[in-house]
Structure 1
């Protein structure tokens, strides 16, 4: 009887405290086997994952949040001076295409851009970007879908326009700092405290964006920006995934803490979101203005570039409130 009572008490504690459940699940985390994650909740063969939240009803609900009509841009300007990783680059070369003579003397200019368009600047990660071994989201296989001209499944072109309720979780403000420390792991308790302080609750289909303050380094100290960063850890990612968001974003480069506190793990939140749960990640967001204005709920709008079979897309999301 004592064992049963203790078991019931523990179960009750876990149900009452999802943060405790997530924290325990985070211990020694590894991607679940395909038998536990496939087919996805969106159905066998689905390629859109959390983008399936985009429906007429979500658009109407988001539009109802617009009270002032003010637009806050959440994307950084693309240029050759932004932070990069490895051989990623963004080069712009302008060219004169026409210099016509009289009577109207029309001139024309164009540019050639040399870049990795899916993984630079403010960017949306698609499902072809990350794997667990040979396996993508919904158990599509790398060796069955990869071609020299793009992936035949899970391309960023499948995402489409996304509009829904946006929620800013300002963890930096909740802790009374302008910027969280280098490689600080945001916990479930941090997220809960910030939401409570803001008076904000999460709903299925939200575009959840997290302000760490790390974006203040963008274009000012690029070396530090890309070296490490504060962000959500495994437990917080599991907890957020249970909230069924449309996407997870942040003002850092991987959304998650980097490097992970567990030296054996390499960007596990990327696998939790993209591979296991089919939730898009929105990286390198510009959140200073939104945070300064304390806009915690807004209409979120964004559309990726339709790169057929692409792994991601540079984007220019906006918040309208």
Structure 2
């Protein structure tokens, strides 16, 4: 049962919003667990390689365990790094004695698997008791037996990436809280940048939101939390399907506006795009440095590569995507 604090008389159930929308269930067989990443064939890899011009590289992961904190979904905690061994242990005589008398540092990290830049498993979000490709949601009990992040991690993600800088397009450092845009806005912004979104492009969208986290007071960042982002429409879902977009990457925590403004439904694109179509979601990406460089040299396409950690039965996994221009 849905236990969200909403009035079911005013906010529709997810199934009502999704009724009649396309799915890719069964398209790649009954056992498929990577969805639209199937579009990234060897030809698509080579198309990405062909985008390389200068050899400049950019990594897109936010820092983990930043002293200011880590941007995470409200209710989650940022990564906690804990020293287990350092010089102090040896000064106190508690360090282990080793042949040759070397010393060392050791530490561990406690974190949400989705507490940094990360890939969602395709089975991460669902409604009506079924996850991506029609697998029973009961398969998530105790760990995701189906459509976990592991198949994505085992495969890796490589193709032509394209960056759409919505914040820059609208003349802003960062989009406003709850500010929305749709696929028409993406197309218009791409045109203004002098590039076209092509079929099977890995789509990166900058809002400036995550970058702003490090310049803002955390309490203000999370108060009345509604991120800017893509907003749901049937036309947008059809566009993603027709364009065969394999992967959506944004500098927001949810990859979409937190609450769909027309209905009040929370994160419907997780269901329409990820659960139903199998579009891979990459969230909390650091896109500011890449965007600044793209604006400088007017090159908005590049080789995008990513390999999330191979977490068995995981609902998501941290990743440090690498872009080569």
TM-score normalised to the size of structure 1? Answer: 0.83
Q: What is the SS of the residue equivalent to 1:319?
A: strand
- Per the alignment, residue 151 of structure 2 pairs with 158
- Secondary structure at 1:234 match in 2: coil
Pair 1:237–1:224, CA change in 2 (3 A): farther
Say whether the 8 Å CA contact 1:237–1:269 is kept in structure 2: no
The answer on 1:279 being equivalent to 2:279 is yes
Range 284-293 or range 199-208, more displaced: 199-208
- 2:141 aligns with 147
Q: Find the residue that maps to 2:18 and give its secondary structure.
A: coil
Residue of structure 1 in register with 2:255 after alignment: 255
| More divergent stretch after superposition (124-133 vs 105-114) | 105-114
Task: Give the secondary structure class of the aligned counterpart of 1:133.
Answer: coil
Could you tell which deviates more after superposition, 307-316 or 259-268? Answer: 259-268
**Aligned counterparts of 1:29 and 1:242: Cα–Cα separation in 2:** 22
Structure with greater proportional helix content: 1
Provide the secondary structure at the position in 1 that maps to 2:278: coil
Query: In the alignment, what sits opposite 1:111?
Result: 107
Equivalent pairs, count: 290
Partners of 1:204 and 1:246 within 8 A in 2? no
Aligned residue number for residue 8 of structure 1: none
Deviation at 1:108, TM superposition (A): 2.2
TM-score (norm 2): 0.82
SS of residue matched to 1:108: coil
Secondary structure at the counterpart of residue 107 of structure 1: coil
What is the DSSP-based 3-state SS (H/G/I as helix, E as strand, rest coil) of the residue aligned with 1:37? coil
| Structure 1 unpaired stretches of 5+ | 1-27
Question: What do the CA deviations read for 1:38-60 (whole angstroms, capped 9, x no partner)?
Answer: 63422322111012123322222
Give the superposed CA RMSD: 2.3
Given that 1:39 and 1:45 are in contact with CA atoms closer than 8 Å, whether structure 2 keeps it comes out as no
1:107-137 deviation digits (Å, cap 9, x = unpaired): 12222211112x1111111112100221111
Where does residue 27 of structure 2 map in the other structure?
Answer: 41
Query: Which residue of the partner structure matches residue 3 of structure 2?
Result: none
Match of 1:5 in 2: none
Alpha-carbon distance, 1:246 to partner: 1.5
Q: What are the residue-to-residue correspondences of 1:1-321 with 2, within 5 Å?
A: 30-32=17-19, 37=23, 39-79=25-65, 81-84=69-72, 85-96=74-85, 99=95, 104-117=100-113, 119-143=114-138, 145-148=139-142, 150-159=143-152, 160-221=155-216, 222-226=218-222, 227-235=225-233, 237-238=236-237, 239-294=239-294, 295-321=299-325
| 5+ long unaligned stretches in structure 2 | 1-14
Distance 1:164 1:299 in 2: 6
3-state SS of 1:293 partner: helix
